[in-house]
Amino acid sequence: FTRAKGYHDDDQNIIGYAGLVTELTKKAKEQDVMKHKNQQLESLNKISKTISSKLKLDELVQEVTDITTQFVGAEFGAFFYNVKNEAGEFLTLYNLSGADKNSFAKFPIPRKTELFAPTYNGVETVISDDITKDNRYGKSAPHFGMPKGHLPVKSYLAVPVVSPGGEPIGSLLFGHKKIGVFNKDIIPLIEGIASQSAIAIENARLFTEKEVSESNFRMLAESIPQIVAIISQDGIPEYVNKRYTEYTGLSLDDAKAGKGRELVHPDDLEELIGNFEDALKNGNNFKHEFRFRRNDGVYKWHLTRMAPIKDSEDNIVKWVTATTDIDEHKKQEEKKDEFMGIASHELKTPLTSIKAYMQLIQRSTKNAEDDKLVHYVSKANDNIDKLEAIISDLLDISKIQSGKLEMSFSDFDFNTLVEEVYEGIQLTTYHHQIINEDKVDTVVNADRQRIEQVMVNFLSNAIKYSPDGGKITIRSKIKNDEFIEFSVTDEGIGISEDNLNFIFDKYFRVHTDNKEFSGVGIGLYISSEIIKRHSGKIWVESKEGEGSTFFFQIPIRGINE
Ligand code: ADP
């Protein structure tokens, strides 16, 4: 006021205050700017809330188009965005605001023309007061400018939408038929909204992908005949499928409370839990056969497999188990074993008799003149021995099956046994160099004959599966004063990783199509049963094409101490 100058009319009436008027105009302008800024902030705030609340991609994209068109004061806006189809190809879709989709449908998607490319490639915003006068405009065939019938555009604004990782997601295009509608000041704001939209779009995509994969998983888990469970890192069930509930009669809560364990046959429980806890601790896959009680009390044989689910950094986040009913298969297998037991008993009697007669023949041909006859008899005897070994293995299988594979423990010098086996096996091959490398001087308490059987199995396999000869190394070691570890290393064909897990299974053979390697696939199974009965461990390390090492470890002082 003090600085205001009054203007008077001739009658000295004040007609105005020049200074005050100027001050007021400036203030009003400032207030106007403030108000506008506040409005912008408010609408930015609203926009950001709206954008981040949408999780469905199509709704979100429409919302972004509408909101931004309104925000920049455009007559119409379009959002061109890239989507990946099922075949993994990129398509560009678009949404419109302020214009009917039909009025656009007959025109092709904007191409990477000189004008549009910077936006399309996510490089920069393009603004123009009159696009028809822009020298980048109208250069591209076939339309050289706007196609006939296109919405009339003079003011032009195109903003790239780029993901935080730098991937171009799409572009926002705004138009107005009047010249000079878009103000440069708005660029940072609309670019801010565009990057926020990009984050929201990425989230919506991830959400959709997650939803699809979860619904796929559920569909799969609910429709397969297997019992499926997802288990937390500490071994607590987090999800069980419908088949689990149907079979056991238990709910997820029951499973969480550990009621599933009560349904495992008491004879199978300890081993199953042992394997399960071992897998949780060591992060390895495991499979196990066990009897599982149905809700009507009937036990059925099942095979369960458990595998870890890992995150991108290879940390185990959960476990998944799939359990299959193998009861029918088990019954068939039992019948087969039963048949095998009977057949091998039946074969054994005549073979024993043939062997006795052959020995008589051998004795009477000892001094025969005919060399050929002596040779034939010796060949026949070798084959009788082979047949005897096969039948003896088959009989062992039926003993294992009926729980009659009994061990007879005694004290013996371990190295003497190794030497005996070593000498015996050396006679059977000319082109393998067998080395008894590490020896031990200790007496063990074990079933001598059965341990010999395991050693012979390891060594004869080492010879059989090294057809090109090479070194075979025998090692015996004492571990922690408590165990004796025996191993046989060969330089043979080795075993692939896929097969390693099954090598000790009954009837499992890797090289079934190769006639060179004859066998029935029961030697290692019997060996593992023998070692099991010594409370020991049996395992293999192998690389295909390089060779294998088979190990067993048993307590030095037997199983009673
Ligand atoms: P068989 O030798 O009669 O087939 P085994 O139970 O002794 O039966 O062995 C099972 C399978 O393991 C064999 O068929 C073979 O494929 C594989 N195998 C055993 N020992 C070796 C070895 N030293 N090197 C490579 N493969 C082996």
Q: Whose CA is nearest to atom 8 of ligand 1?
A: 521
| Percentage with pLDDT > 70 across the chain | 86
Contact in structure between 531 and 552 (CB atoms under 8 Å): yes
Query: CB 423: neighbour CB atoms within 10 A?
Result: 11
The per-residue pLDDT of the chain, averaged, comes to 85
Contact in structure between 50 and 67 (CB atoms under 8 Å): yes
3-state secondary structure 75-124: CEEEEEEEEECCCCCEEEEEEEECCCCHHHHCCCCCCCCCCCHHHHCCCC
Structure letter (DSSP) for residue 49:
H
Cα–Cα distance, 474 to 485 (Å, whole number): 11
- Across the range 13-18, mean pLDDT stands at 57
The position carrying tokens 């009965």 is 533
Binned at pLDDT 50, 70 and 90, residue 10 comes out as low
Cα–Cα distance, 17 to 49 (Å, whole number): 47
Q: Whose CA is nearest to atom 14 of ligand 1?
A: 509
Highest mean pLDDT among 1-15, 42-56, 198-212, 404-418: 404-418
Ligand 1 geometric centre to CA of 521 (Å): 7
* Structure tokens that stand for 514 in this block: 């190769």
pLDDT over 60 at 4, yes or no: no
Least confident of 1-5, 57-61, 268-272: 1-5
Check: pTM over 0.85? Answer yes or no: no
pLDDT at residue 144, rounded to an integer = 55
- Across the range 463-489, mean pLDDT stands at 95
Ligand 1 geometric centre to CA of 277 (Å): 29
Highest mean pLDDT among 129-133, 394-398, 433-437: 433-437
pLDDT over 90 at 107, yes or no: no
Beta strands in 249-369 (DSSP E): 286-293, 299-310, 316-325
Binned at pLDDT 50, 70 and 90, residue 291 comes out as very high
Select from 524, 531, 539, 542 the residue to mutate for testing ligand 1; criterion: most ligand atoms less than 8 Å from CB: 524
198 or 10, which is more confident? 198
25 or 206, which is more confident? 206
- Across the range 360-375, mean pLDDT stands at 82
Cα–Cα distance, 15 to 492 (Å, whole number): 115
- Across the range 107-117, mean pLDDT stands at 60
In short, whether 490's Cβ falls inside 6 Å of ligand 1 is: yes
Q: Which of 504, 507, 530, 531 is nearest to 519 (CA)?
A: 507
Ligand 1 geometric centre to CA of 209 (Å): 46
pLDDT over 50 at 561, yes or no: no
Does residue 225 have a cis bond before it (omega within 30 degrees)? no
- Across the range 494-499, mean pLDDT stands at 90
Supply angle C-alpha 225, 230, 232, rounded to 5: 165
Q: How many distinct helices (H) and strands (E) make up the chain? A: 14, 19
In short, whether 492's Cβ falls inside 6 Å of ligand 1 is: yes
In short, whether 394's Cβ falls inside 6 Å of ligand 1 is: no
pLDDT over 70 at 2, yes or no: no
Ligand 1 geometric centre to CA of 275 (Å): 24
In short, whether 469's Cβ falls inside 6 Å of ligand 1 is: no
Ligand 1 geometric centre to CA of 441 (Å): 30
Contact in structure between 474 and 490 (CB atoms under 8 Å): no
3-state secondary structure 220-264: HHHHCCCEEEEEECCCCEEEECHHHHHHHCCCHHHHHCCCCHHHE
CA atoms within 13 A on the CB side of 179: 5
> Which residues contact residue 240 at a Cβ distance below 8 angstroms, ignoring those fewer than 6 apart?
227, 228, 229, 250, 252, 255
Structure letter (DSSP) for residue 151:
P
3-state secondary structure 432-486: EEEEEEECCCCEEEECHHHHHHHHHHHHHHHHHCCCCCEEEEEEEEEECCCEEEE
10 or 479, which is more confident? 479
The position carrying tokens 């075949």 is 87
pLDDT over 60 at 3, yes or no: no
How far from 467 is each of 428, 433, 511, CA to CA, in Å? Answer: 13, 13, 13
Least confident of 201-205, 272-276, 356-360, 525-529: 201-205
Contact in structure between 187 and 68 (CB atoms under 8 Å): no
pLDDT tens across 146-199, in order?
A: 555 566 788 889 898 888 888 888 888 888 989 988 888 888 888 888 888 888
Q: Please give the helix or strand (H or E) that residue 328 lies within, else none.
A: helix 327-365
185 or 471, which is more confident? 471
Contact in structure between 20 and 7 (CB atoms under 8 Å): no
Select from 392, 465, 490, 538 the residue to mutate for testing ligand 1; criterion: most ligand atoms less than 8 Å from CB: 465
How far from 105 is each of 82, 124, 149, 240, CA to CA, in Å? Answer: 17, 26, 12, 49
pLDDT at residue 23, rounded to an integer = 57
Q: For residue 294, report the phi and psi dihedrals to the nearest 5 degrees.
A: -80, 165
| Percentage with pLDDT > 90 across the chain | 39
Cα–Cα distance, 467 to 493 (Å, whole number): 8
pLDDT at residue 445, rounded to an integer = 96
In short, whether 391's Cβ falls inside 6 Å of ligand 1 is: no
pLDDT at residue 141, rounded to an integer = 54
480 or 100, which is more confident? 480
Ligand 1 geometric centre to CA of 475 (Å): 19
